[in-house]
Structure 1
């Protein structure tokens, strides 16, 4: 979410689902009563993340928790994806609201990634690798947004919504692939694959950072 960034900014990367998400958001926002505020939506998003995190832990004992996990992610999206647009729609943008929203969104994603490491679908080692990459990308995203006066970038067309979809789909893909990191040796190949993907992702970010640096140098 972003309360302060202008809709008219030309320097931004659109995610795959940006257009469809905007249409859905417009429909939902038009139906929201005045009692629903941006800050309340932010809190709803945090609650959704906590529900999803608890469900991931519950999946260690029963996969019946998976629907609860999906519901939690949906609630998280509802809160975190709509708080900013609602603030702009009602002219309620404020630096304090932006800081609260950004911080809660970041902490929600961190919580979910770490809790994947406590689930049977991802080892703690893989979860920490993903977390390190996520924090690295997020940090550069904030730096780039300030330096280039640009909207937050996406990664190969993957924005926050696409990332949530990937998180939602992973437990089902793991079940289909017979992945169970609680079994002896169940995470060895998965950890190796995650390390390779992380290395590719970091290399891609380095290329992006170099291109941005050259653009900044050319503009000076």
Structure 2
């Protein structure tokens, strides 16, 4: 979560859980002691990603690591989703902190997607496809920031929090469905499904980019 978010960028944040997340964040932030700083929350988010990544590796040997994975994902959300709102609440916004927050958020998500490839829940192929789509959409966020002075944080209602929830839920779905990325045909079918979904997502992205280009043309 960025420390500096313009009013217009918030206008484009239409993810399904945006309103609920904001209310929850307000409750948590109000209860935080002054010793908890935005930078410390960012560090908590990074630690959470590392814990979650280690748990994904542990799941290769035992599903008992799944609760550890969820705990890591929760810490990652706490750090990356609350650092920006806390900074704004305390009027501690700073460009350097904004860069640190954005960079760590991006790196933590990339790290987690890559770690799924060494877990039993996704193949390397599927992880790389998801990573490519994530980087494409993330890059476009920054392009749109420059072009329209607004940063869309969601696609078809999916923002950073929804993406984290999907990542946290998938190991349980895969485990319940008996999917093992290294051993069975279900994983191959999953790879095909993810490729199809990725193609649909990229097509939607292209439509969005064309729409934004048309908007820029009309404004000029």
Classify the TM-score, shorter chain: over 0.9
Equivalences for residues 1-220 of structure 1 within 5 A: 1-7=1-7, 11-220=11-220
Moved more, 205-214 or 175-184: 175-184
Unaligned runs of 5+ in 1: none
Unaligned runs of 5+ in 2: none
> Deviation per CA, 1:4-59, whole angstroms, max 9, x where unpaired?
11246574131101111111100100011111110000000000000000000000
> Deviation per CA, 1:190-220, whole angstroms, max 9, x where unpaired?
1111111111000000000000000000000
TM-score by length of 1: 0.97
> Deviation per CA, 1:179-198, whole angstroms, max 9, x where unpaired?
11121445211111111111
User: Whole-Å Cα distance in 2 between the matches of residues 142 and 11 of structure 1?
Assistant: 16
Moved more, 161-170 or 5-14: 5-14
Seen in structure 2, the aligned counterparts of structure 1 residues 117 and 13 have a Cα distance that, compared at 3 Å, is same
Seen in structure 2, the aligned counterparts of structure 1 residues 124 and 157 have a Cα distance that, compared at 3 Å, is same
User: Whole-Å Cα distance in 2 between the matches of residues 151 and 119 of structure 1?
Assistant: 32
> Deviation per CA, 1:128-164, whole angstroms, max 9, x where unpaired?
0000000000000111122111133311100000000
TM-score by length of 2: 0.97
Seen in structure 2, the aligned counterparts of structure 1 residues 75 and 3 have a Cα distance that, compared at 3 Å, is same
- The alignment yields a C-alpha RMSD, in angstroms, of 1.2
User: Whole-Å Cα distance in 2 between the matches of residues 8 and 192 of structure 1?
Assistant: 38
- The count of corresponding residues between Structure 1 and Structure 2 is 220
Are the counterparts in 1 of residues 52 and 69 from structure 2 also a CA contact under 8 Å? yes
What secondary structure sits across from 1:187 in the alignment? helix
User: Whole-Å Cα distance in 1 between the matches of residues 57 and 168 of structure 2?
Assistant: 14
Are the counterparts in 2 of residues 11 and 151 from structure 1 also a CA contact under 8 Å? no
Runs of 4+ residues over 3 Å off in structure 1: 7-11
Are the counterparts in 2 of residues 121 and 174 from structure 1 also a CA contact under 8 Å? yes
User: Whole-Å Cα distance in 2 between the matches of residues 9 and 163 of structure 1?
Assistant: 19
In the TM superposition, residue 111 of structure 1 has moved relative to its aligned partner by 0.5
